[in-house]
Amino acid sequence: MLAILLVDDEPMIRLPLGEALSESGHDVTLASDGAEAIACIDAQPFDLVVSDVRLPKADGFAIRKHLRANAPDTDLVLMSAYGTIEEAIAGMKRAAPEYVSKPFDVEELVVLVNGIDARRRSARERDDARQRLAAHDGSALLVGTSDGMAKVRARIAALAGAASKRPILVAGERGTGKAMAARLVHAASTRGEEPFLRVRCKRASDRALEGAFARRDEPSQRAIYLEDVEALTTVSQAALVSILASDSRPRFIASTSLDLSALVADGRFRDDLARAFSDTEIVLPPLRARTDDIPLLADHFARMAVRPGVAWPTFSAGAMAALLRHAFPGNVRELSLAVTHGVVLSRGRPIEVSHLPKPFGARP
């Protein structure tokens, strides 16, 4: 629901349009001229102002200027019947991203307003998701300043904030943190307090998977994480496609280290199932593509390897250089294991190259 200010000096437009917007569930305030509209804006907050351009006392462009200065988060829709269509459009494009030309169909304007409502609601959900995501600052997936990880965090927040139960696919090489990303998507969503069920598709039988999909004793708001979704048999793939068509389904978050489109081409993965994940994908970059994050990640893992309240060891210049020149085929997981190894052997002293696993001590 939006708090809407509707401004038009013609009662034959203002009254029926206000009634239609109210019937759509919006809270509508009416104004008959520009000065009254500006006074309303100063008196209370509005999500949206729908205003004619030509008004007594102050026109729609003056209202727009007042909004930009005093209520920049308020959306604006301008209506106009003056001059030529081209002239009106040119003027209104400079003033507002949304505009309608008179005469217009009331239902079409209601549809436009409802679209603005959906967009604003989605933006609020994304903001809420970002705040919930920030609460999980202990996650290694949130460590790093590289562009790649900034995009991952933004993608997680956007998908976590989505109100739908559309399935999500987390893709990336082994060790990039796919399971962690799946948990963050769920934790940052409005369903974060509901159960999170992890299913290892490589180990689960068709019967076990079918049981996990169809459990009625769990709330439909739960999340099911399908690790290595490419390992599903044709039977389980068909069962998943079927349950994705159900309104009462849980949210599915799947992961893969393979290219699903290539598996589809080989006949090993259903095309309709791959398409279900196609536009809700989170791609995690390999560590070799974000080497600037290695010092921050190493420090994070060193801190996590010691007891709370205990100072964690630093890295010598040689040890950090060894980490930076390593290729990390095992990605973040390999870095975590190497740092933990170094923390144990260093016994509270600075971590040297000799404290790291053997592959890190060999110079190229």
Instruction: Say which CATH number the domain at 308 has.
Output: 1.10.8.60
pLDDT tier at 118, thresholds 50, 70, 90? confident
Statement to judge: residues 186 and 112 lie in one domain: no
Q: Are 37 and 49 in contact (CB under 8 A)?
A: yes
| Same-domain check for residues 292 and 226 | no
In a domain, residue 128? The reply is no
Q: Looking at the structure, do residues 202 and 267 belong to the same domain, yes or no? A: yes
Q: Compute the average pLDDT of residues 30-41.
A: 95
Residues 110 and 177 occupy one common structural domain:
no
Q: What is the pTM of this model?
A: 0.64
pLDDT at 187 over 90: no
Q: Structural domain tally of the chain?
A: 3
Beta bridge partners of 281: 169
Over the stretch 294-303, which tens digit does the pLDDT of each residue have?
Answer: 999 999 999 8
The mean of the pLDDT values for the chain is 85
Of 239, 269, 285, the one marking the end of a domain is: 285
Higher pLDDT among residues 82 and 314, named by residue: 314
State what percent of residues in the chain have pLDDT above 90: 53
pLDDT of residue 104: 82
Residue 6 has φ and ψ, to the nearest 5°, of -105, 120
**Structure confidence at residue 127 (pLDDT):** 64
Alpha-carbon span 175 to 305, nearest angstrom: 18
**One domain, residues 205 and 220:** yes
Domain extent, residue 69, equals 3-123
pLDDT at residue 93 above 80?
no
> Are residues 58 and 93 both part of a single domain?
yes
CATH number for position 209: 3.40.50.300
The band of 158, judged by pLDDT with boundaries at 50, 70 and 90, is confident
Q: How many CA atoms lie within 13 A of 296 on its CB side?
A: 15
Burial class (CB in 10 A: 0-12, 13-18, 19+), 264: middle
Average pLDDT score over residue span 135-158? 78
